[in-house]
Amino acid sequence: MGLGQTIALWSVLTVGMGPAGYAETVLWDRSTPEIIERGILVPDQEFTRERLVARSEQERKGTTATLVHLTILMEGQMEGQKSPMRLTQPSHVSFKSLLATRKRYATSDVHIAEMIGIGGDFVLRVRDGGKTWREVLAGKDPLLHSVEASEFEILHITYTVQIVAPLKAYVRVRGEVSLKAAEAFYERIRKLLPAADIFEQPVLVEIRGDTWFPAMPFPEMYWYEDFVVPADIGKIEDAPHMVCGWAIIDGSACQASVRGQ
């Protein structure tokens, strides 16, 4: 479950002490032997750099899963308008409405941490109020990939228990991207990430040159960098958008999507 999806906070799975010896509440756990997908809630005083790193290290050292996605949220923000979990994006929104939402939430006092591991490489990224920071915990940053002279960054990974597209990755590319580069990146990610279900469906990937993915399960706010109001929302709407993994068309696993999709 990604940050942009609705969570029934009253449907708590576990309340107790986490593996790092700190109090925590398990909000969701959709883990499998190959995929760890877990969200936890910690007391406000435990949302510190030292404890976030310690909790993430405990998760990292205690698993052999290929994909690890641990989300850590702070208790004090989970009620009312301060909750980042209120940003549940509809199945499709316009770029203009998405811009209005981002302007509204740009200065929110949000506290979110995600530890993501892919194939033995781990990174912790954090939004702590008005500050963001990132720390590689093992190997290299698994979200950053240089392929065919293009720089790709995985912004969001979501895993859900569903038949269609259970595992999706949303990716930003710096500069112009060719179909060849997109295909090379997709082939790398497909090999790194596990098949997500009994039907052995590979990961699906969406690629843009920005963070403007106007459909769920990408969250309405990308929390790990400062929001900058675009000079021309029309240019963002018309920007190239590739989708990889839905089907092989004309020998290619990547295709340009329909505008706004």
What single-letter DSSP state applies at residue 49?
Answer: H
Instruction: Look at residue 80 and tell me if it is in a domain.
Output: yes
Q: Cα(222)–Cα(213) distance, rounded to whole angstroms?
A: 10
Instruction: Tokens for 198, please give them.
Output: 């009994």
Mean pLDDT of the chain: 82
Task: Record the tokens describing residue 210, joined without a space.
Answer: 């920005």
What's residue 1's pLDDT?
Answer: 36
Is the pLDDT at 54 greater than 90? The verdict is yes
Predicted local distance difference test score (pLDDT) of residue 154: 97
pLDDT above 90 as % of the chain: 43
Query: Mean pLDDT throughout 141-158?
Result: 94
Domain span including residue 90? 14-256
Helix (H, G, I), strand (E, B) or coil at 36: strand
- For residues 35 and 197, the model is more confident at 35
19 versus 140: the higher-pLDDT residue is: 140
**DSSP label at 101?**
H
Q: State how far the Cα of 84 lies from the Cα of 111, in Å rounded to an integer.
A: 8
Is the model's pLDDT at 243 over the cut of 60?
yes
pLDDT band (50, 70, 90) for residue 261 = very low
182-224 residue pLDDT tens: 999 999 998 888 765 545 667 889 999 999 998 778 888 899 9
Nearest Cα to 206, choosing from 143, 154, 161? Answer: 154
261 is a domain residue: no
Asked whether the predicted pLDDT for residue 101 surpasses 90, the reply is: no
- pLDDT at residue 57, as a whole number: 96
Lowest model confidence (mean pLDDT) among 22-36, 67-81, 244-258 = 244-258
Strand partners, 82: none
Q: What is the pLDDT of residues 125-146, one digit of tens each?
A: 999 988 999 999 999 999 999 9
Cis peptide before 33 (omega within 30 of 0): no
Does 101 fall in a domain? yes
Question: Is residue 3 one of the residues assigned to a domain?
Answer: no
Under the banding of pLDDT at 50, 70 and 90, the label for residue 6 is very low
Q: What are phi and psi of 37, to 5 degrees?
A: -130, 100
What is the three-class DSSP state of 37? Answer: strand
Does the residue 4 lie in any domain? no
pTM for the predicted model, two decimal places: 0.84
At residue 16, does pLDDT exceed 60? no
Structurally, how many domains does the chain consist of?
1
CB 145 within 8 A of CB 188: yes
Write out the two tokens for 140: 């290299």
- Written as six digits, the tokens of 124 are 């912790």
pLDDT of 176: 75
Sheet arrangement for strand 14-17: 14-17, 23-29, 35-42, 67-74, 111-118, 121-128, 131-138
* Alpha-carbon distances of 48 from 34, 55, 111, 113, 124, rounded to whole Å: 29, 11, 10, 10, 13
Report if residue 2 sits inside a domain. Answer: no
- In the predicted model, what is the mean pLDDT of residues 62-83? 81
Q: Is residue 5 part of a domain?
A: no
Residue 1 lies in a domain: no
